[in-house]
Amino acid sequence: MANCTVCGKQTTKQCGKCSNAWYCRTECQRSDWKNHKKVCKYPFEIKESEGKGLGLFATRDLQIGDLVVCEDPIIYLSDGIKGVLKSPQTFKHTYENLGVEERNKILALVGADNDLTACNLVMESCLDSSSRKEDQEWKRALRIYGRNAIAVDDSGSALFSTISRINHSCSPNVDWSYLENHRTRKEVRVIRNIKVGEEVLVDYLAKSESFPLTSDRKEALRWGWHFECKCSLCSLDHDENDALRKRVQQLHDSVLNCGRREDVEGAANAALQKCKLLEKCEDLKIHLPVAYMELYETLIMLNLYRRAYGINDAFMAKVADRREEYREKAYKHCRRTKLYIDKAMYNKKIKRLAMMGGSHILLR
Ligand SMILES: C[S@@+](CC[C@H](N)C(=O)[O-])C[C@H]1O[C@@H](n2cnc3c(N)ncnc32)[C@H](O)[C@@H]1O
């Protein structure tokens, strides 16, 4: 049983073409067609995923780079990323300005129960304070927001009708990005081939630029998303994968630490080893573009410092002179998956790298 996409009534009837929208009667289906026809063609169906509520499942084989869905948010808040929403009052105001259809779409998402753990502390204090009847709906919606909101650009978060139904896996087969010219519109694309019938899974923690071990990932998902992860990686024996992640994290830290000690050669070496290791680990490949960009930028630094630090020519010939090749690898991955390269993210990294050794040099 689900809620009608238009009026919110309980129903078991789905769109016959894609099974991704629920309608209680023909009038509701007809009135929603102008919106629904934009997503009706997508290659997935929404159905029960064991132990995780609903989820997206491929209705045909999908290749790397294929589009799963592209969607605008039902509600978008620019004042804080998920989990640290600054003001529940902003949420209340934005929610109450939505039309009935949008509100019903939000209320149909998972998490409307009275479970206060599905809220961060700011939300919790606000939700605790009043039990007035007229406040109940937006508070329900706020709880749903706590369970489903997704970061959409550097500072905002949003709820989506379809994308918010994608379950998490620490070994994902899709990734999402916003569009260059439309930062609240979200696109989901395949990063590992998916067979018909397989669940479409994204890594909720992927953009955190760290390589957490199983126990840390579980904790982060409990804290930020309020669930106990049942993905394949967390369910299996994870010692080997954890050992690999530990090594990648060490190399990642080493790039920064070497930089702080003005050991640019050490930083470049660590960045290179990190890329090599990431290439071997299927569930961490998502980090490759940023890692190759980091290597590229480190090698530019190396080139600039080569005389000052007496960096040996053999090392330069072996690694540093190949820097364009590494930059190309960063872009190649993004071109293959057709995901938007977040230039802001790279710029932040470039700034951080430019601070290495207290230098004021301009990189570009
Ligand atoms: C953004 S929603 C995903 C869609 C949701 N399954 C639904 O029915 O609408 C996030 C919720 O899905 C469930 N979920 C997602 N990934 C999961 C996982 N790996 N293990 C267990 N539950 C998961 C949790 O209940 C979580 O709070």
Integer Cα distance of 20 and 29 in angstroms: 12
Integer Cα distance of 152 and 183 in angstroms: 7
DSSP class per residue in 43-94 = SEEEEEETTTEEEEEESS-B-TT-EEEEE--SEEE-S--TT--S-HHHHHHH
Tell the residue nearest (CA) to atom 1 of ligand 1.
148
* CA 350 to centroid of chain Cα atoms: 22
Quick one: which atom of ligand 1 is closest to the CA of 165? 4
23: which residues sit within 8 A by CB, 6+ positions away? 4, 5, 6, 11, 13, 14, 15, 29, 32
pLDDT for 361 equals 29
Structure confidence by residue, pLDDT tens digits, 10-26: 888 888 777 678 899 99
Structure confidence by residue, pLDDT tens digits, 93-140: 899 999 999 999 999 998 756 554 544 544 555 555 556 666 678 888
At 20, which helix (H) or strand (E)? Answer: none
Query: Phi, psi (5° rounding) for residue 159?
Result: -110, 140
Beta bridge partners of 323: none
Ligand 1 pocket check for 53: Cβ under 6 Å? yes
pLDDT for 253 equals 93
Ligand 1 pocket check for 227: Cβ under 6 Å? yes
- From the CA of 166, how far away is ligand 1's center (Å)? 7
* 75-77: strand order across its sheet: 75-77, 157-159, 150-151
pLDDT for 15 equals 82
Pocket residue to mutate for ligand 1, from 171, 205, 227, most atoms within 8 A of Cβ: 227
Query: Phi, psi (5° rounding) for residue 89?
Result: -65, -35
- From the CA of 146, how far away is ligand 1's center (Å)? 12
Q: State how far the alpha carbon of 288 is from the alpha carbons of 9, 138, 154, 206, 299, in Å.
A: 45, 40, 20, 11, 16
- From the CA of 30, how far away is ligand 1's center (Å)? 30
Q: Which ipTM was obtained for this model? A: 0.99
pLDDT for 270 equals 94
Q: Mean pLDDT per 10-residue run, the chain (364 residues)?
A: 86 78 91 85 91 94 89 86 65 92 92 54 52 73 86 83 95 86 87 95 82 91 86 85 93 90 86 93 83 85 75 72 81 72 53 40 27
9 neighbors 3 (Cβ within 8 angstroms): yes
Tell the residue nearest (CA) to atom 22 of ligand 1.
52
What average pLDDT does the structure give for the chain? 81
Ligand 1 pocket check for 217: Cβ under 6 Å? no
The dihedral over CA atoms of 129, 88, 228, 287, expressed in degrees to the nearest 10, equals -160
- From the CA of 194, how far away is ligand 1's center (Å)? 19
DSSP 194: B
> Token match 């930062």: residue?
183
- Domain chopping of the chain, boundaries: 1-41, 75-159, 237-358
pLDDT for 134 equals 64
Tell the residue nearest (CA) to atom 15 of ligand 1.
167
Pocket residue to mutate for ligand 1, from 150, 157, 168, 219, most atoms within 8 A of Cβ: 168
Q: Taking the chain, what is the end-to-end CA distance rounded to the nearest angstrom?
A: 57
Integer Cα distance of 129 and 180 in angstroms: 40
pLDDT for 129 equals 53
Integer Cα distance of 234 and 268 in angstroms: 32
Query: Model-level pTM greater than 0.90?
Result: no
- Alpha helices (runs of H) in the chain, residue ranges in sequence order: 26-36, 88-96, 100-107, 121-129, 136-148, 214-225, 232-235, 239-260, 264-280, 288-305, 313-318, 323-337, 343-354
pLDDT for 356 equals 41
